[in-house]
Structure 1
Amino acid sequence: MAAEFVATVFLALLALLHTVCGLKLLMLRVPSQKLRAHDVTLKCMYDLENSTLYSIQWYKDGSMFYRFVPADEPPGQMFPLPGVSVDLQHSSDSQVTLRLLDLESSGTYRCEVSSEAPKFLTEVAEAYMNIMALPKDAPKITGMRLKYNEGDPINLNCTSSPSKPVAVLTWFINGNQVDNSDISQRRIIPTGKDSKDGPFLTQYRPVVDDEGLEYVTLGLRMAAKKKFFNTLLHSMKVKCTASMGQLMWHVKHEARIQSANTASSQIPGPEKCHVWLVSVVTFFIAHKLLDS
């Protein structure tokens, strides 16, 4: 009981000492995510109260890259560090600006505020910042045939453009998402009610390129059954989307798969964003129906 009382009094005295001596770190602002090639300003706000500032020091993963000492000339100094490019003109005792972030800029950033003698107090705070690289292009659908007969296998792949972190791919059939909650790498998992016809998803392992960016492929496997095709257009629309992180980045690639049971054998040019495998007259009718 006495030990608990002593510990309580000791903690109370420490809290009182902190209040009397001052120096409080009020806020550390380090964004959790930023885009590659962008700039960022990190903020470290403090209250000296009865103390005098000795220095502000910034670290990334334990290595110092910026220091502000009011007594020095100039007060702000930078130290070379991979992935960190300090803009001294826009840095001060309360903030540091970094230019042209790259993948190496990801890491834990720490701010240390220290007071002058005789108190020599130090307050520390840190936070992690992740640098993201958005894909330059939309995901690409490959493996498309011009027409499919009843029962033919449909084997499509959707491949993302390189990014960091790797994009999340999602397939849609006629506007309905193909559930991918249970897929695992290098396995084929039935995701439709009818496991005989599919659809099935094949998740491949991500590939890392020379820049350290990643791309991934998600396969769609199914049988060309009538239930998947529009009875008027004899076609089925497939879509693959790619999304990434909290930035809500989202792009898509759509294509139209045509059944062999069409009224005309005229076929337009190769696919760009959509594949229309119908006659010229049917094309305009289909376009009006889809718009409505």
Structure 2
Amino acid sequence: MLRTKVLELEKGPAVEMATRSAGGKRHLRCWKTLGWTALLILQMQLTGVSGLKNVRVVSPGAVAVGETAALECQYDLEGAELYAVKWYKGKKEFYRYLPKEDPPTKVFPLPGINVDLSESDAHHVVLRDAGFTLTGRYRCEVSADAPSFDTALVVASLVIVDFPDGEPIITAERSSYAVGEMVRANCTAQRSHPPANLTWSVNGRQVRGRHVRRYPLRRDEGNATTTTLGLEVEAGSGTFRRGRLTLRCQATLLSAYNASAELVIEEERPRLASVLGTRESSSAPAAAASPGAAAASPAAAASPPAASSSSSLPPTALPKTGLFIAAMATVSGYGASVCTFGGRSRLR
């Protein structure tokens, strides 16, 4: 026990001194780190360098298949020097820009990506012959040089599209409808990738809900898809405008495609029968049923008509009122008939 106490007495001061020495070194390192940090902050304030800001990626959103896709990485170094700009598709790097290297650009092979180095720089990367494999998310990583070494990472999406074959096509059951009937039509956008978005409008007002019908997509060759949207609305009394109903179908494909087609439906109205035709058809049977007319001799037909007892006035003394009525009847379309006034024929 005595030996143990002696060892503890001998060991105690040495251990305490060693502990104090190690703690002093740690404190010294901390002070040095704080000092260097303060110097860097002071230098940045004196030189006006505060790091990256306003970093973002500008993407066209949608590009037609076979065309060129240009992505832009915008940033503000606020006076600092650029260290590197790196582009990724997903998690794989395919383009790097290092201003202090010669040449500053470097490409990492990635299937489906064809970088145009002549058009790419510290802010832009240009991809030629866009195929459907280019669809995805793209990241831009910007790093400032010493002393800040600030780094920012931003993301944007790109979609490669195949436009529909021409404008949308509208088909209807008939070209004219009467008030109260159901107007049915279909709108079709042929062969696009991805499927086109279709909307209906009637007389300038968009139609939704139960009035539209979505048909199953039709898969064509390759990645193409044909889209059809149906329309079913009642032709109400206030639907027709000046006897016409305008159907409009609009097809869109992200921000790269916008086309529309229109179809004008005519209003069916009841047709009134011709008064002249009705009188002629009604007088024909009466003439056929008259035996006196059928038995009239040629001599009687050739003889002049006898004068009426009530028509004792000479032809020149015919009242003007009768002539005016006769003219009005003729203009109104009720036909013309022959009347006898004082032995002469007059139209009425």
Q: Does 1:95 align with 2:104?
A: no
Q: Is the 8 A contact 1:66 1:79 kept in 2?
A: yes
Identify which of 110, 131, 141 aligns with 1:81. 110
% identical aligned pairs: 24
Distance 1:59 1:70 in 2: 18
Q: Does 1:43 align with 2:63?
A: no
1:24 aligns with 2:35: no
Q: Secondary structure at the match of 1:89?
A: coil
Residues 72, 165 of structure 1: CA spacing in aligned structure 2 closer, same or farther, 3 A cutoff?
A: same
Distance (Å, rounded) in 2 between the aligned partners of 1:223 and 1:52: 65
Distance 1:52 1:227, change over 3 A: closer
Q: Number of residues paired by the alignment?
A: 230
Corresponding residue for residue 228 of structure 2: 217
Cα deviation per residue 1:233-290 (whole Å; 9 max; x = unaligned)?
5x53322222344568342232434637579xxxxxxxxxxxxxxxxxxxxxxxxxxx
Match of 1:5 in 2: none
Q: 1:192-246: per-residue Cα shift (whole Å, max 9, x none)?
A: xxxxxxxx22123444544434442221124566654467x5x533222223445
Does 2:233 match 1:204? no
Q: Is the 8 A contact 2:170 2:185 kept in 1?
A: yes
TM-score after normalising by structure 2? 0.52
TM-aligned CA deviation for residue 88 of structure 1: 0.5
Query: 1:70, 1:129 → 2: CA distance?
Result: 26
Aligned to 1:111, the other structure's residue is in SS state strand
Pair 1:99–1:129, CA change in 2 (3 A): same
Q: Distance in 2 between matches of 1:18 and 1:156?
A: 72
Out of 245, 248, 262, the position equivalent to 1:253 is: 262
SS in 2 for 1:97: strand
Deviation, 1:87, is: 0.7
Structure 1 position 106, deviation (Å): 2.8
Structure whose alpha-carbon radius of gyration is higher: 2
Equivalent position to 1:238, from 217, 224, 247: 247
Match of 2:325 in 1: none
Question: Residue 118 of structure 2: SS of its match in structure 1?
Answer: helix
Question: Residue deviations 1:159-215, cap 9 Å, x none?
Answer: 123445543323233x142431xx3xxxxx2xxxxxxxxxx2212344454443444
Asked if 1:123 is matched to 2:151, the reply is yes
Task: Check whether the contact 1:147–1:260 (CA below 8 A) recurs between aligned residues.
Answer: no
> 8 Å contact 1:23–1:51 — kept in the other structure?
no
Question: In structure 2, what is the Cα distance between the partners aligned to 1:227 and 1:94?
Answer: 57
Q: Which runs of 5+ in 1 are unaligned?
A: 1-9, 184-188, 190-199, 264-292
User: Partners in 2 of 1:262 and 1:101 — Cα distance?
Assistant: 60
Q: TM-score when scaled to structure 1?
A: 0.60
- Pick closer, same or farther for the CA change 1:28–1:236 going to 2, 3 Å: closer
* CA-CA distance at 1:23 after TM superposition: 5.2
More helix by share: 2
Alignment of 1:128-143 (within 5 A): 128-131=156-159, 133=161, 134-143=163-172
1:96–1:148: structure 2 CA closer, same or farther, 3 Å change rule?
closer
**Larger relative contact order (C-alpha < 8 A, sep ≥ 6)?**
1
Kindly state the Cα deviation for residue 158 of structure 1 after the two structures are TM-superposed: 0.9
Given residue 179 of structure 1, which amino acid in structure 2 is its aligned partner? V
Distance in 2, Cα, partners of 1:209 & 1:105: 21
